[in-house]
Structures are given as structure tokens and as C-alpha cells.
Amino acid sequence: MSESTPPPWWKGATVYQIYPRSFADSDGDGVGDLNGVLNHLDHLQYLGVDALWLSPIFRSPMADAGYDISDYCDVDPLFGSLADIDRLIAEAHARGIRVLLDFVPNHTSDQHPWFIESRSSRNNPKRDWYIWRDEPNNWRAALNAGSAWTWDEHTQQYYLHLFLPQQPDLNWRNPEVVEAMHGVLRFWLDRGIDGFRVDVIHCTGKEPSFADDPRCLAGQPLVEFNDQPYSHEVLRGLRRLVDSYPGERVLVGEVNIRATERVLQYYGAGDELHMSFNFQPLDAPWEPVMFRTCIRDVEALLKPANAWPTWVLSNHDNSRQRSRYQGSLRSAHAAAVLLLTLRGTPFIYQGEELGLEDAVIDPDEQVDPGGRDGGRAPIPWLAAPPHGWYGRPPWLPFPPDSEVLAAERQLREPDSTLALYRRLIAARKRSPALLQGDWEELPSHPNVLAYRRQFGDDHRVVCLNFADQPHAFPINGRWQVEVASDAQGENEPYSGELAAGQALILCPEEH
């Protein structure tokens, strides 16, 4: 990217993931909804994010929290209506916030009219919209669902589902399926949606001979390693469609393969995904070796390929970062500095800006078949129970310390997690180096991770101390603290030392 060419909006964006059923409830039924999101757009504007990504809002029987879709072109009544999403898009755009939807191309619900037709008879015109076989192979489904094949008594064949039996896989080799799913994207793009997070895109292409796989024999689900050339053909078609619309619409993909060199392939030659999630930090404990290795890996592989990185520390499928860091708010604050200063687009999962931990879910309260409820607990807006959720009790219990961590309370506290995220996003916006500059690792003690970001004559240095004791980190030149994870010493000269667990953004001292 030359310094005179403005980069596309998504390269400089901070994206905020909303899990709608847990964000905010407008009608008192105990489940978050689109009007709840609308009512809290001021929170997102205050935070400074540039885009929001909504986890699935489409009509669904909710066997897998909306990832089992029975109508891609309607909103589930649990969340609202098409009029509600239209209003949300308009209000978000009025605040300069773009809106991304979650597109689920690999499978539908077994209640989708397409599958109801497909399973009605072997001769139905939509039979080949799904994947049917006389004999199963050894492929394993995700979410502890066992075999990826379920027997249909009526038509005496098995159908494929890489997730739950209620989520049959579409046959993307059928041109009619391709056209129907392209129609879904057009429907939403025409309504003003700015792009899509594409669910398990690496699963759309299947091994054509349906050969057994030894990894499945060992109990591993196919979704963890399915990586077929045809998925790239599917993606190129989606990209051509999205690129035909004005306004730099974007595709960000979930390629849930824990190998950066494989994920890189899904960027294609600039003709597949605009961005793909990098999930390695989701698995990493808060320690320097893992993060140093992960960042070096991403830089070494993606930069030469001109592939733009993403960074994410939590999402709806994983434990919250603070819970993974043994409940340490100090580590969660340092991680926020890391997330918002690396080269690439950061994604913040709702509630991370409040420093939330996973909720404690008793066995009789569990909703998700994959056991992922802890990170999906409701957001506490107000300090006093029921924390802004009036009417029926919320569908899951609140996270720990909701009274203390409520958004209302943090708004008034200058050293809160919310205030830190706001300062970090603001610092990012005012620095070309942080938005689009090069990343260069600096020599440091093994317990310190330090790097320089530079674009033209704009410079920042970021340094993180992973240790429980202070560490010297001398640096040439005169620098001042722009943002500190512990809010100490901001706008003062840098002393050359990092406090225990502290992370800093340094900028050159103004003369």
C-alpha cells in the first residue's frame, strides 16, 4: 500500500462482535434482540468501534444458537423483524458504524424448506442440494455429535452433517445451491449490509471420493482439518459477487484450521477472503513465548503474500480471555494493548471491554450442546440487578462481579477496563503507524515483548511485560507514555522501566 493510496476501510477498522441473545434485551423476554443492540449503539460509538458483526439473527429452530438456519432471508422473531434490522443498519450507518452479518454457507437447518423437500423423496428436484449416500464413511461431526452421517428412514439413505444432525450440509457442487446462496448474499447486500463473517468456509468443499480419514478414526471431527480445493472455488464465487457491489464490502472468514500457512491459502490471489481469522491467540495462555511465536508466524507468512491479518482474543465459541488468564484483570488489560496495536484488524468480543469472565453454568442451566455457554452470558449494563435486563430472567446467568463490572459503573471510572479500551481505540485512530504501519520486533528480555510500528514519519513502540516483577526496557530517543494498561504515567516521559504485568504504547516526545 503506497502512502498516497487510502487503504480500504476494513484495514483500519476495529470490529466489535455482538452475540445478540446476550447483548441487550428490549422486550423483557430474557433474550437479547436487535432493538437491544439499537438501544446501545451509543455504547459502541463511545467505545469508538468502526463496525459491528452480528452473530446469526436469521430464522432458526436454535439447535445450535442460530447456526442452524431455516430461512436466510428473514429475522428470527426472537431477535425482531426485517424492519428492526433495517432500522439498526440505518442508525449504525448514521453513527459511522458499519454492519456485518454472519453468513453460514456450509449447512442449513433440517427445518429449512430446501431440506424438507430434499428428504421427501429420492426423486425430489432438491435431493441433490444436500449430500446423500447409501453407505456412511468414518467422518466425525463436531459438537460431540458422533458420526457425521444420519440415517433417513423415509428415503433409506444417510445424509451428511459436519455439525449436529439438525444441520445437514449443503452440496456446493450443485449450481442451483450456488445460485440460491448467492441470492442470499444479494438480499442482504441490497439492504445495505457492509459484509459478512463467513462461518466454517473451509468445510464447503468435501473430499469427492468420501474416503475414510484416519484422524476421524481417532475421534477428531472433520471440521478441524477439512481443507479441500473446492472450498476455494466456492470462495472465489462469493468474492466476485461481493466485489460487484460498491462501498468496499468485505468477507472475513472462519477457517478453523490451527495452521497459519493453511489459513493463508483462503486469501487466494487476492480473490478469496479479504481477511481470515487467526485463531492461534485464542488457544494461547498469557505468556511471551506463545505470543511471540504466533505474531512472528503471521508476519512471516502473511506479509509477503499481501494478506491482511486479523487479531482476536475471545469470541462466542471460546472461553473469555480473562478466564483463560486465570482471572487476571492485569493480564486482560495488557492483552487489550496487544490486540489493538498489532498489524491487522482487531476484533473485540462483546464484554471484553468490561473485563468480564465466563459465567459459572450449572449442568441444569447448560444450553449449548458444545458447552460454550460461559462466554455467552448476558452483558451487565447497570450495576444493580437485574443489570438492565428487565422482565423474565435472562436465558443464562450473569458473569461474576457484574455489579462491579457493569458498563454504567465503568463509565464513571477513569482507570476502568472500558476507559482503557476507549483510549486504545482512540490512540489507534490517530496513528497511521498503528493503523497501517510495518511491524518490527525489538530485542528484549524473554519476559518482555516489544515492537515498533512505523508508517512514514509516524512511529510507535509497544512493550509488554509478562512478568510479575518490573523489567527494564531501555530504548533510544525520547519517548512518552501514550497509553498504559494500568493507566499509570500516561502523557509523561517514559522511564525506561515496565511495571509488573504492564503494557505501554510509547510515542516520540513532542518537542
Question: Grid coordinates standing for 280?
Answer: 492461534
E-assigned strand segments in 233-299: 250-253, 275-276
Residue 38: what residue type? L
Residues 203-225, mean pLDDT to the nearest whole number? 96
Candidates 486, 508, 339; CA nearest to 431 is 508
Give the C-alpha distances (Å, rounded to integers) separating 83 from 50, 79, 191, 202: 23, 11, 11, 33
- Domain made up of 438-508: CATH architecture: Sandwich (2.60)
What are the tens digits of pLDDT across the range 476-502?
Answer: 999 999 999 999 999 999 999 999 999
Residues 239-244, mean pLDDT to the nearest whole number? 98
E-assigned strand segments in 118-201: 132-133, 149-152, 157-160, 195-198
* Segments in 26-110 forming alpha helices (H): 34-39, 41-47, 82-94
Question: Grid coordinates standing for 26?
Answer: 428490549
Question: pLDDT averaged over the chain?
Answer: 96
**In the chain, helix, strand, coil percent, each to 5?**
30, 20, 50
508 preceded by a cis bond (ω within 30 of 0): no
Is 1 a residue whose pLDDT tops 90? no
Question: Grid coordinates standing for 340?
Answer: 489493538
Asked if the 113-160 domain carries CATH number 3.50.50.60, the reply is no
Domain ranges for the chain = 9-108+175-428, 113-160, 438-508
For residue 132, what are the β-bridge partners?
159
C-alpha 153/C-alpha 100 separation (Å) is 39
Residue 6's pLDDT is: 87
Q: Please, which pLDDT band fits residue 4 given cuts at 50, 70 and 90?
A: low
Residue 5's pLDDT is: 78
For residues 33 and 367, the answer to whether their CB atoms sit within 8 Å is no
Residue 3's pLDDT is: 53
Residue 73's pLDDT is: 98
Candidates 353, 426, 345; CA nearest to 100 is 345
Catalytic residues: 199, 254
For residue 152, what are the β-bridge partners?
157
For the segment(s) 9-108+175-428, the CATH number from 3.40.50.300, 3.20.20.80, 1.10.357.10, 3.10.690.10 is: 3.20.20.80
**β-strand pairing of 157-160 with 149-152:** antiparallel
Question: Grid coordinates standing for 196?
Answer: 459478512
Question: Residue 510, CB half-sphere, CA atoms under 13 Å: how many?
Answer: 4
What are the tens digits of pLDDT across the range 297-315?
Answer: 999 999 999 999 999 999 9
What are the tens digits of pLDDT across the range 261-291?
Answer: 999 999 999 999 999 999 889 888 999 999 9
Residue 33's pLDDT is: 98
What are the tens digits of pLDDT across the range 57-109?
Answer: 999 999 999 999 999 999 999 999 999 999 999 999 999 999 999 999 999 99
Question: Grid coordinates standing for 460?
Answer: 510507535
Task: Return the residue matching grid coordinates 451509543.
Answer: 42
Residue 247's pLDDT is: 96
C-alpha 207/C-alpha 131 separation (Å) is 12
Q: Which residues contact 42 (CB under 8 A, 6 or more apart)?
A: none
Give the C-alpha distances (Å, rounded to integers) separating 500 from 12, 100, 204, 232, 336: 31, 38, 46, 46, 16
